Structure 1
Amino acid sequence: PLPLPVRIGGFGGAEGLARFLAASATRAVVDATHPFAAVMPFNAAAACRLAAIPLLALKRPEWKQLEGDRWTRVGSMAEAVTALGASPRRVFLTIGRQELAAFAAAPQHAYLARVIDPPEGPVPPDLTLIRDRGPFDADAEAALMRRERIEVVVAKNAGGDATAGKIAAARHLGLPVIMVTRPAKPNVPTVATVDEAMVWLASHGCLPTLRGV
């Protein structure tokens, strides 16, 4: 539960969101969607232009490849499937549940996937699910990968500390990581931290009450 009004559900595209912003007398918008949200950031940008409302994107920094990392960068989940290759491998999928179906196209691999909610739709035939929520400690991640005899990790470059343990664990174990890069985002003012977003809100007269944000 949040100490703020909450709206759940879609708005009807950019035009619907613009109408909602106008009707609710919203004074500013902060796009704090997931780094892999591909549609809502563009809808928010278009809606804010239509409604003449300032928009800020809150985007946490990506993970950076460090010494010892064995990354293969790909631009989509389909490319990640191809990057696994033809030979059977034991694969740790740390991509959430919504895109597991892509890996059904490569049934020769044995997959371990960690999800919060169970997947819907097709999944690879040889799939073991772990239902858990971060944060995940690097030592625990390494122990999991050893126990499951993981040979390669597939991850989205979401950034942040909560799930960075898998990246550190793969580095420690010398495992390759297929890293899916973030989708394109609209060109809007962007900050990396909540504190910076609060300063921006203050500059637009939205503090201290935070009403209409």
Structure 2
Amino acid sequence: MTGTQQHVLILGGTTEGRGLAEALAGEPAARWRVTSSLAGLVAAPRLPPGEVRTGGFGGTGGLVRWLREHAVDVVVDATHPFAETMSAHAAAAAAATGVPLLGLRRPGWTAGPGDRWHMVDSAEQAAALLPALGGRVFLTTGRTGLAAFAGDAGRWFLVRSVDAPGPPHPPRMEVVLDRGPFTHDGERALMTRHRVDVLVTKDSGGAATAPKLAVARELGLPVVIVRRPPAPPGVPAVPDVAGALEWLRAGR
């Protein structure tokens, strides 16, 4: 690493992306220029320090142009583990420009003793399992993932999301607008109050939304978990902000 300021583009919108921006902002300003890019899917996101841009790039080609026009030295893909399209665009743009790319990927969750997990590959597969598992569903796949459950009139859904979901969605549902981190006591109160008998979620990983899994274990509830899509091949990855800082400081 030379003494020249490095322009770091963080593809963010996650706790890890915001944490990395905060960590870099705490270092000498002459070392890093940080731009965080947010997808714009949340109406009032928690903004990281530094420069922030919102919205897509217009595919791989648009990202390639942005990297060149803004003299980006390194990209950190800290998007959500299910942001498959953005991660693919980042990998392709990095290959086209020669800009180094790092994946910042929080580890997925691991089942433990007492867990009744059913792993599936899609929301559609999750929906197909529900008739055999329960009638009151706590659905935490995000507001954009409700279409797969829209045809299920036989179950009642408790849907939690940051912003209100639009159609298509399940005909029988109650919406809770909230964002993590969540607490064990809070999740237990929510799930018992609504008499939830099955939980559906994505393998997002991280501690902020994990308490619901512990509560489901305590209550003996089945949990349907959508597996993560595969990360782009050939992209180095670290599990946390500390690993990303080490990689950046080492000059990649």
TM-score by length of structure 1 reads 0.93
Q: Pick the aligned partner of 2:204 from 158, 161, 171.
A: 158
SS of structure 2 residue aligned to 1:7? strand
Cross-structure match for 1:196: 243
C-alpha spacing 1:76/1:87, structure 2 compared with 1 (3 Å): closer
For the residues of structure 1 that align with 2:133 and 2:65, how far apart are their CA atoms? Answer: 52
Of 70-79 and 87-96, more deviation after overlay is shown by 87-96
What letter is aligned with 2:251? H
Question: In the alignment, is the contact (CA less than 8 A) between 1:35 and 1:182 conserved in 2?
Answer: yes
For the residues of structure 2 that align with 1:63 and 1:174, how far apart are their CA atoms? Answer: 18
Greater relative contact order (Cα < 8 A, sep 6+):
1
After superposing on structure 2, the runs of 4+ consecutive aligned residues of structure 1 that deviate more than 4 Å are none
Q: How far 1:88 moved relative to its partner?
A: 6.3
Cross-structure match for 2:162: 116
1:65-95 residue CA offsets vs partner (Å, 9 max, x unmatched): 0000000000000000001026860100011
SS of structure 2 residue aligned to 1:149? coil
Identity %: 50
Cross-structure match for 1:24: 70
Q: Which runs of 5+ in 1 are unaligned?
A: 206-213
For the residues of structure 2 that align with 1:63 and 1:7, how far apart are their CA atoms? Answer: 30
C-alpha spacing 1:87/1:44, structure 2 compared with 1 (3 Å): closer
Task: State whether structure 2 residue 139 is matched by structure 1 residue 93.
Answer: yes
RMSD: 1.3
More strand by share: 2
Q: Which runs of 5+ in 2 are unaligned?
A: 1-46
For the residues of structure 2 that align with 1:52 and 1:87, how far apart are their CA atoms? Answer: 49
SS of structure 2 residue aligned to 1:78? helix
TM-score by length of structure 2 reads 0.79
Question: In the alignment, is the contact (CA less than 8 A) between 1:112 and 1:130 conserved in 2?
Answer: yes
SS of structure 1 residue aligned to 2:111? coil
